[in-house]
Structure 1
């Protein structure tokens, strides 16, 4: 019998936030999934939400799909910001192979977010869709929410609506109602800002972080070592220089409230994952379902502005923030101690210091292609398919997921759509590795907003936009603390040439050209 396929993607969650990768938040359902599957410790996303989704669903590098940054159309000199007609989604591929296809949650792959277009999920292979077209949004007053292509107005949500819970409930219902092997895609917005949490979840996290980020990072690293997560290849990087020592933090109470709200969002997401896994168990499909769990980028250090100009600019993005709170009062936007996070009338984020904790043991964050931006916890579970219950250290990235799933199910890759030749997936299958075989070694590449990297075996060459190349030996320094570029110039030259060849092949547009194209375009909403 052909296996079901279920991908669970979470949003802006750091490498070490879940329990089975070292976190203290409490994620028993995800940990249960990991206990019956493989944990991949050297798996990579693409550093940002939209390009990660594009790569995950197509098996291509994001530049090949038209979605290399976010979903704005940057005109003739940039990226279109929507899936192009030369890539096939996994939903299209599995649907052509006879699978039922359904999606719940965040799409964020179309620059048209209010009127259905050819790049909406309903027109890229999904028979059933319930979720949001846009990126971020309120968990209590969720905008761009659609059932199929029908908008769901705020007035229909009800007083107890909480988006994370609803994503889990709708995904579980789709599993129970599928009449043939299914491909399911569950894309949570949690724990992406805004920090919105139910009071019961907040109550569970109060006091959990009182010792502060320095102590907690050290403890997370020790739990990773005990579990064999990055046990040989990473030390604990130094605290981000922009982050004060916890003892020197003047607003400890407010900082704790931020992390407690973030953790409450993670706990709610884990509860929703539990509802989905329960649906698999109740329908007798757990053993023969390939479940893939991962995050779209590393922890997010973004600070939301609270000054009048910044707050007003943010309010203009009506597709991601409601015009007012549920009681009709103005939304309180920004990160200041006067705005306590968690409730529906606020729009806040948890900030750089806690993102540094989330990314233990790495440095940097979402948007960067250093390890803190691209390393994700990956869990793959398929009890009936011979997937080992183990920790695997071989390097792989998002482009490798589609080939893995196609090999596991026997579904052929689509080669054309309405006479248009489609670009085949560019990665390598991990199925042999997951079943206890050797790794299929291959170079890995990244580019995002000018930040660039290539990993070849133990070596990683990486740079920030307009900065010099840095070289790291990831077998001993995955925390990227000791730059070896001046000691190995020949290796830097070789790897940088490989990166440029790849960039030319997949259509990377120099970031300066993207910025110039964007400057020439009309202003668009985020």
Structure 2
């Protein structure tokens, strides 16, 4: 057996900071809890606030704009916004494959503009020996479009009556691990597992949904308070931080209408996470039963904060235009698209999201959601488990980090070099810093952290964070004293705000961030309209 560690990288989709059990949530996640209890949890790790940019950054160790995925996989204009992984970056799979690793991927790709025709931005062409999953960003869990095996369409596999995408992803990853061991593991492996759960649509097996009946009946106001208390007790947040206010667009739970429908939405969402955790348990058992668990670095995190998107008619029309939706379920029934209390979600005959108020719970105690770079949009759980390399069990690390650090961590743990060139192409320098030193102790100084998505920008240097909700003014927070971003200090500390703004502008120029106004102008010209700089472009 190889002395080099295997790497199991698990990413889930649209899950908030405090949903899973070991981060204070109500969802039953015994397998993730076990990994946390025998490994480390990071309290201040960050993603990039959106699906595609996170995947691009995670895979390459670069900021998303540098990879060609500045917004999503749509072609949104100039270089940096083409929606495809470009040739200036190298993936973890490519770097590890050149270092003698076998490379496998199971799950959601979502960093290619063309989701139907194999091309040089698909997984097999970006370093993976095997691939099984969906190329697109979201799909029916019972019958997903773009289901692909290697480079071949595999949608026929989803016609089986018992097909469920989360299970298929889990079982493919477990199979890869077992087959790798059976072949004689003289080479280590890299297995990337990219779940779609719990991204909309709200689809889950009925037995999992039933488990959560009554679990959320106290409503989002009480549950947000309870989550904050548990997070404090777990040592993940500071007791002095105030709970962010309930989203002003949402009613108090006691005044909310259609409670049966609202509760069902959260129950299905929880069931999606629960089913994912069950699959993670099967993957870990495959490692145990093949004698590979101790020397496997496992990393688990989420791609952005909880998603407040409401599925209305314009949004579903956009999805249909992308050929992402089916007309009928497998049993021939019509599918009811869009949120509305007349239909309870869960089955394939529905297509809904859980909405603003529950996303507000998912991201407790923080502000805002996916799309935004306030703490609710970018804060993720991060669990690291590696018996051969992490000796503390159940520890918490408060040092901040972000997605660009994942590749640096994997490379240091495996001894693989980061290339200056790849296949004759010049590669941009790695942006991240390895987390491996933090496996031993929680003590490091690091470079500033930066974010930009749809004009929402932020920079964090130590305790200070400058952030804006585009096109509003920049806000300044002392994250050590006020991580829930309740007290804006920009007016009181203008010199500190100016200092951080200058750092942000320097980074934005270097990373290829295009001012939001120019992007909006491109959108407007494409539609034959005049640009409106005040539009915050979110597909809802």
CA change 1:387–1:163 in 2 (3 A) is: same
- Residue equivalent to 1:415: 420
Equivalent of residue 509 in structure 2, options 499, 504, 507: 504
Offset at residue 520 of structure 1 (A): 4.0
Structure 2 SS opposite 1:376: strand
Give the alignment's TM-score, normalised by structure 2: 0.94
Alignment partners' CA distance in 1, 2:55 and 2:61: 10
| Residues 1:163 and 2:165 are matched in the alignment | yes
Equivalent of residue 518 in structure 1, options 508, 517, 523: 523
- Which stretch shifts more, 201-210 or 93-102? 201-210
Offset at residue 78 of structure 1 (A): 6.5
Unpaired runs of at least 5, structure 2: 529-538
Structure 1 SS opposite 2:333: coil
| Residues 1:217 and 2:224 are matched in the alignment | yes
Offset at residue 311 of structure 1 (A): 4.4
Equivalent of residue 444 in structure 1, options 440, 446, 449: 449
Alignment partners' CA distance in 2, 1:154 and 1:132: 13
CA change 1:2–1:516 in 2 (3 A) is: same
What is the root-mean-square deviation of aligned Cα atoms in Å?
Answer: 1.5
CA change 1:155–1:225 in 2 (3 A) is: closer
- Residue equivalent to 2:194: 187
Deviation readout 1:247-268 (Å, 9 max, x if unpaired): 0001111100000010010100
| Residues 1:257 and 2:259 are matched in the alignment | no
Q: How many residues align?
A: 521
Offset at residue 386 of structure 1 (A): 2.9
Offset at residue 232 of structure 1 (A): 4.6
8 Å CA contact 2:109, 2:135 repeated in 1: yes
Alignment partners' CA distance in 2, 1:232 and 1:59: 33
8 Å CA contact 2:363, 2:376 repeated in 1: yes
| Residues 1:370 and 2:377 are matched in the alignment | no
Alignment partners' CA distance in 1, 2:80 and 2:129: 31
1:98-497 matches, cutoff 5 A: 98-154=100-156, 157-178=159-180, 179=185, 180-232=187-239, 234-306=241-313, 311-319=316-324, 321-389=325-393, 390-436=395-441, 438-497=443-502
CA change 1:521–1:182 in 2 (3 A) is: farther
Structure 2 SS opposite 1:423: coil
Offset at residue 387 of structure 1 (A): 4.8
8 Å CA contact 2:70, 2:80 repeated in 1: no
CA change 1:34–1:95 in 2 (3 A) is: same
Offset at residue 395 of structure 1 (A): 0.8
CA change 1:84–1:468 in 2 (3 A) is: same
Offset at residue 388 of structure 1 (A): 3.0
- Which stretch shifts more, 228-237 or 342-351? 228-237
8 Å CA contact 1:46, 1:446 repeated in 2: yes
8 Å CA contact 1:63, 1:506 repeated in 2: yes
- Residue equivalent to 1:39: 41
CA change 1:382–1:233 in 2 (3 A) is: farther
8 Å CA contact 2:68, 2:80 repeated in 1: no
Structure 1 SS opposite 2:191: strand
8 Å CA contact 2:476, 2:490 repeated in 1: yes
Alignment partners' CA distance in 2, 1:462 and 1:133: 32
Structure 1 SS opposite 2:459: strand
- Residue equivalent to 1:55: 57
Structure 2 SS opposite 1:383: coil
Give the alignment's TM-score, normalised by structure 1: 0.97
Alignment partners' CA distance in 2, 1:183 and 1:168: 15
Offset at residue 478 of structure 1 (A): 0.5
8 Å CA contact 2:389, 2:439 repeated in 1: no
Alignment partners' CA distance in 2, 1:401 and 1:76: 27
Alignment partners' CA distance in 1, 2:278 and 2:157: 26
Unpaired runs of at least 5, structure 1: none
Alignment partners' CA distance in 2, 1:515 and 1:206: 44
Structure 2 SS opposite 1:377: strand
Alignment partners' CA distance in 2, 1:78 and 1:97: 28
8 Å CA contact 2:308, 2:354 repeated in 1: yes
